[in-house]
Structure 1
Amino acid sequence: MDTTPQVTKIDLLIEARWIIPIEPAGIALENHAIAIDAGRIVAILQQSEAHRRFSPQTIERRPHHVLIPGLVNLHTHAAMTLLRGMADDQPLMEWLQHHIWPAEARHVSPQFVRDGTRIACAEMLLGGITCFNDMYFFPKAAAEAAVEAGMRAAIGLIVIDAPTAYATDVDDYLDKGMAIRDTLRDQPGINFCLAPHAPYTVSDRAFGKVLTLAEQCELPIHLHLHETTQELRDSERQFGVRPLERLHRLGLLGPALIATHAVHLEPGEIAHLARHGCSIAHCPSSNLKLASGIAPITALLAQGANVGLGTDGAASNNRLDLFAEMRLAALLAKAESGQADAVGAHQALHMATLGGARALGLDEEIGSLRPGKAADLCAIDLQDLRLSPCYDPASHVVYVASREQVSDVWVAGIQRIKHRKLTADNEIELISLASLWQNQIRPRDA
């Protein structure tokens, strides 16, 4: 009897010093490899065993690296990269009403969105982000830019009770959004959310239409919620209740809801969000920069709420950098709760990967490393004096490493970053594109 083990041909084998799979939680595998074929993970196993079982077309060896799932940016406005750094150091409503919204009214177009999203995709890929949840005008242009970059995107079909260059009224926003979904629904890597901007810009009638479509089409609902104290005061004056209670009365609370920011929550509201299975898109840098406050993440997690991390847009952060968000989320949770063990390194990594994927309904596809899932991977180089020594790779990823240590990124098994360089775009060209837009925007808006 032939007892020689059968060797399976595969596309790719990646070896690494450590692999943090996220599932199971809290572990780091040493000297393991990931076998990949047809864009999916086939196995995760010891390197010696991998060579016995598989015959890869390509082997990538990363002996000083940690492999993690591709990061999931649960909230951003990608095209606003073209407004990075404009009108900084302003409170939210001043910043929006007197600077950002007027600039958008003058400049936002399909070309603006496509170019801004191309630049954002490059920045995110270079920082290990393989999927982003977007909310902006002209969503078809954003989707096309994501496809061109080779990223995954959950494209927000925006709804707002005001005319813009993109749409005239609520029905127009929804009609255009659903037409885009119908056109691109079979495009690999592209998913959709309904994206009513915020309770202060969306009417009860509009929310009702959004809810109906979300239930019919099984789409997440992505919106800003409880970001500032002014938002709460305005809601109580206009509707007699805080925004969360208004959404509850309208029937929007449920597992499909992604509540972005969720800074100002009372204990009962925290329990309410968790009980209804809502997800939170936590954006710590943006919340601090706009002086919105510190979200009660420790309490939300303790109640069982699903929490992911978002960068917000580059106009209000000003970086699309989930390494910075992981570190800040962990540190703020400790300070806000008074508990040094609040949001440890593995929990922060979960928020930046599987937490975001779960919020988008993509947790069976991405967010962790296990057989059958898409091969969305990020390799982080820990061979650096500034990162030495390393006792715990998860701790290093969250508290020590930065996006500059991301060396390689794969999306569905296709390498999009190789040795810190884009494989599908030209950085010099993108820098020139950003400069062209800067020169167009600056004369009237600086």
Structure 2
Amino acid sequence: MNDFTADRLLSDDGVLLLTPDAVFTPDGPKDHYAAVVAGGTFRAVGPAEQVERNHPHLTPVRLPGHVLMPGFVDAHHHLTQSFGAALAFGEPSEIFRRVWVPLEGALDEEAVYVAAKLAALESLRGGFTTVADAGTRAAVDVELVAAAARDAGIRCVLGLVCNDADGDTDTALAGAEKHLTRYGAEELIHPSLAVSVPEAATARTLHHTARLAAEAGAVVQIHVNEHLAGVERSLVEHGLRPLEYLHHVGALGPQLLAAHATLVTPREVTLLADSGAAISYNPVASAWKGNAVAPATTMAERGIRFGLGTDGTRGDAFRLADAAEFAQRLSYGLATGDSSCGAGWTWLDRASRGGADAVGLDALTGRIAAGAAADFLLVDVSAPETALSRDLPWELVRRGNRDQISAVFVAGRLRAWHGWPTDWDGPALVRRAAELAHDVMLRAPVTRVHPTSTDAWAACS
């Protein structure tokens, strides 16, 4: 049993010397390491004896049975879709037309804030310290989403939707420029641009949002090559597949964060590798509503940047890492006899450092190292699932659980303790979300193809 309490992780001046059993460094787990946190960053990371000797004025916080590891990065989320999470179950692809657009259109300002904060809470509970929000379709100021993330205490790459296929291009681009400068002094909010799908924006907007983001050091989030219908629409309209079209209009580059990329040809893989674009590999979304699984191990071999994303399915980082490996094994490893499929560590690395790179925050977060933001987890590895481990990265991917996460820190502050926030009322938020979700679903013109599971069960009785 581990008997340290949350009080031991709180400091009036924000300075902590943490000595867990091991620290996950960029070179892998290191036993008997320690870390100093101060001013929201890691000030020192190294062998415990050395770190303690160099900081004699600090009292070490002993963390028996725990490892300190980077917080996970969700490279693709939709924070304002949390009220309809279960609506994706058992539905065919492209549910955004029948479910998400109508649902978000029914959100008022309070519902947007509460839905986004609920999603942020779920993410923190699941070990995510950063989420990339792909932009809300609700007719509200995105500051409401920023406020929800800020108040929850999670780092957020905040997308602004710049769709203009049916609107005013000049207005869309002016809004994009304003958004990129709006959060310059923020600690937790990092602006991003977004286009729902390539056909939702004009060629001019696709080109100029890419330029604006590149100049600002931000990313443009676009759903790309996810569904057969989307690929076919692009071929009919442009004679090019979506990624080929983005290359054609000058929107394919290091600033692009392409969500999904599950249906890619060898030529498109080469375009991604040559352009420096990043991918959000979303394995749970592929299983729940997709047409294919992104060839992530091939992408890794070709040097393509990618992180892991939930697509708002479930905010559970260990299950996401497990799904990432599992989907690769079933889709590609079995057919080729690849029994390693990333050797375990790949999926932890892509879910943290790789995700930070994909969302444009690689200089800031995603790793345990001096100078990096102190976004990290304390994970109890004395639990039955991992206590006997001889290969901890593999064990955490295959057997790690959300309930093993004792503490979640973002920017050096304790944000969640055993799954609940430390400085605001999580259960009260959940209760209010349940009330609002009921009202929203009554007025949202959602269309489901299949009945709910309870209705289907009753029909078969």
Q: Normalising by structure 1, report the TM-score.
A: 0.90
Identify which of 7, 18, 22 aligns with 1:18. 22
Partner AA of 1:30 in structure 2: D
1:76-225 paired onto structure 2 within 5 Å:
76-86=77-87, 88-93=89-94, 95-105=95-105, 107-137=106-136, 138-161=141-164, 169-225=168-224
Q: Is the contact made by 2:307 and 2:350 (CA closer than 8 Å) also made in structure 1?
A: yes
Contact 1:66 1:393 (C-alpha < 8 Å) held by counterparts: no
Q: Aligned runs of 1:415-434 on 2, under 5 Å? A: 415-434=414-433
| Superposition deviation, residue 301 in structure 1 | 0.9
Counterpart residue number, 2:442: 443
Q: How far does residue 361 in structure 1 lie from its aligned partner after superposition?
A: 2.6
Q: 2:459 corresponds to which residue? A: none
Deviations 1:203-241 (A, max 9, x none): 223213323422443321111100011111111111111
Q: Does structure 2 retain, via aligned residues, the 8 Å contact 1:285–1:311?
A: yes
User: What does the per-residue CA deviation read over 1:239-297, in whole Å, with 9 as the maximum and x for residues that have no partner?
Assistant: 11111111111111111111110000111211210111111100000111003211111
1:261–1:282 CA contact under 8 A, matched in 2: yes
Report the residue type matching 2:62 in the other structure. R
CA distance, structure 2, for counterparts of residue 113 and residue 183 of structure 1: 19
Distance in structure 1 (CA, Å) of the matches to 2:224 and 2:88? 23
Q: What does residue 332 of structure 1 align with?
A: 327
Shift of 1:169: 4.1
Gaps of 5+ in 2: 1-12, 447-461
CA distance in 2, matches of 1:92, 1:201: 18
CA distance in 2, matches of 1:435, 1:143: 21
Deviation at 1:183, TM superposition (A): 3.0
Q: Which moved more, 1:346-355 or 1:379-388?
A: 379-388
CA separation in 1, counterparts of 2:385 and 2:371? Answer: 36
The residue that corresponds to 1:50 in the other structure is 51
Measure the CA separation in 1 of the matches of 2:380 and 2:169. 47
Does the C-alpha gap of structure 1 residues 140 and 180 become closer, same or farther in structure 2, counting only changes over 3 Å?
Answer: farther
Contact 1:74–1:308 under 8 Å retained in 2: yes
Kindly tell me: are residues 442 and 109 of structure 1, through their superposed partners in 2, closer, same or farther at Cα, counting changes over 3 Å?
A: closer
Report the alpha carbon displacement of residue 337 of structure 1 after superposing the two structures with TM.
2.6
In structure 1, how many angstroms separate the alpha carbons of the residues matched to 2:251 and 2:151?
A: 34
SS at match of 1:404: helix
Q: Distance in 1 between matches of 2:151 and 2:168?
A: 30
User: Across the two proteins, how many residue pairs are aligned to each other?
Assistant: 425
1:322 paired with 2:338, answer: no
* Partner residue in 2 for 1:252: 251
- Does the 8 Å contact 2:165/2:202 carry over to 1? no
Rounded Cα–Cα distance in structure 1 between residues aligned with 2:180 and 2:253? 22
Aligned counterparts of 2:57 and 2:76: Cα–Cα separation in 1: 36
**Take 2:154 and 2:194, find their aligned partners in 1: how far apart are those partners?**
20
Q: 1:116, CA displacement in angstroms?
A: 1.1
In the superposition, the TM-score normalised over structure 2's length comes to 0.87
Aligned 8 A contact 1:34 1:41 in 2: yes
Q: Identify unmatched segments of 5+ residues in structure 1.
A: 1-8
CA distance in 2, matches of 1:69, 1:443: 40
Task: Give 3-state SS (helix, strand or coil) of 1:378's partner.
Answer: strand
Deviations, residues 70-119 of structure 1 (Å, cap 9, x unaligned): 111111011111221125321222x22223222222x1333322111111
Q: Taking structure 1 as reference, are residues 426 and 327 closer, same or farther at Cα in structure 2, changes over 3 Å only? A: same
Matches of 2:88 and 2:320, distance apart in 1: 22
Q: Which position in structure 2 is the counterpart of 1:37?
A: 38
Deviation at 1:57, TM superposition (A): 5.2
Is contact 1:20-1:394 (8 Å) kept?
A: no
Which AA in structure 2 matches 1:99? V
Residue 304 to residue 272, structure 1, CA distance change in 2 (3 Å) = same
* Residue 71, structure 1, aligned to residue 72, structure 2: yes
